[in-house]
Amino acid sequence: MATIAVIDYGMGNLRSVGKALEHVDARSRILVTDDPATIRRADRVVLPGVGAIRECMAQLRRLELDAVIREVGSNKPFLGVCLGMQALLTTSEENGGMEALGMFPGEVRHFTACFAEAGVPTPGKVPHMGWNQVRQTRAHPLWRGIPDGSWFYFVHSYFVPLLDDAWTAGMTTYGLEFTAVIARENIIATQFHPEKSQTAGLALLANFTRWDGTA
């Protein structure tokens, strides 16, 4: 039986992610775990996240999972969700500036500051919370069966600015355009919560459970 490890670092939407994966994939064993050996043995790995980057990185380092994430992120299908996507970047300006995992170059920014810098009106409340459309910017196996422009559920005040076209697989507009999905080789990560995004989100998770990590 295949296994999917959902990394438990003491914060995040673990139960909802685990239940959503169980719903779309009865063939795999879903393991919510902080055990490095279990994560390394898993066929697929999910890094969920809700909260602030400082606590996220502190917990990952305390549990010695930062090195494990970099390792499995180089050799097996890997999905980051929300804060789990932001943690893959080099730095975040949250909490006065924090070093993250550095698996993708770039800085996570705050909406309000960037609206001011770009001279665009604030489109609504920050955090950006609720449903928004995602434009698919390039083909990827996780988009299979999901129409371009589908709606997904977001909750975030910080965001990833548009990355290199080779790494951005989806983008969304909230006052300005930002990266909603990053993808490279065996890694894909979403700013939105697929486990809360009903039909389109469950389809993406189902695609992940079948994905072999190649584009």
What sign for the dihedral angle of Cα 173, 179, 182, 188? negative
**For residue 208, what pLDDT is reported?**
98
Among 37-41, 96-100, 132-136, the minimum mean pLDDT is found in: 96-100
CB 57 within 8 A of CB 98: yes
Q: Is residue 183 part of a domain?
A: yes
Taking residues 137-147, report their average pLDDT.
Answer: 97
- Of the chain, the percentage scoring pLDDT greater than 70 comes to 100
Taking residues 83-112, report their average pLDDT.
Answer: 95
Q: Is residue 62 part of a domain?
A: yes
Which DSSP helix (H) or strand (E) runs through 110?
strand 104-110
Tell whether the model's pLDDT for residue 12 goes beyond 80.
no
Q: Is residue 215 part of a domain?
A: no
Q: Is residue 106 part of a domain?
A: yes
**Residue 91 maps to which CATH number?**
3.40.50.880
**For residue 51, what pLDDT is reported?**
86
Catalytic residues: 82, 193, 195
**For residue 155, what pLDDT is reported?**
97
Cut 0.85: pTM above it: yes
- Tell me how many domains the chain contains: 1
Q: How many CB atoms lie within 10 A of CB 100?
A: 23
Closest by Cα among 58, 34, 56, 61 to 45: 34
Q: Is residue 201 part of a domain?
A: yes
* Token output for 140: 């990827």
Q: Is residue 111 part of a domain?
A: yes
Print the domain residue range for 119: 3-210
Residue 112 confidence class, pLDDT cut points 50, 70, 90: very high
Tell whether the model's pLDDT for residue 60 goes beyond 80.
yes
Tell whether the model's pLDDT for residue 38 goes beyond 90.
yes
Closest by Cα among 59, 64, 54 to 99: 54
